[in-house]
Amino acid sequence: MSIDDFRDTTRHILDNLLSETPKADREQLLDAYADLITQLYAHHSHQMLTEVIEDARTRLDARLSPDPVRQTIAGVQTTIQDLWNSLWNG
pLDDT in tens, 36-84: 888 888 888 888 888 888 877 776 766 666 666 556 655 666 777 777 7
Instruction: State the Cα–Cα distance between residues 86 and 36, nearest whole angstrom.
Output: 26
Instruction: Provide the H-helix boundaries in the chain.
Output: 3-19, 26-64, 73-89
Looking at residue 69, its pLDDT comes to 56
Looking at residue 42, its pLDDT comes to 87
Query: Could you tell me the pTM of the whole model?
Result: 0.55
| 26 against 68, higher pLDDT | 26
The rounded Cα 82 to chain-centroid distance in angstroms is 16
Q: Is residue 12 very low, low, confident or very high in pLDDT (cuts 50, 70, 90)?
A: confident
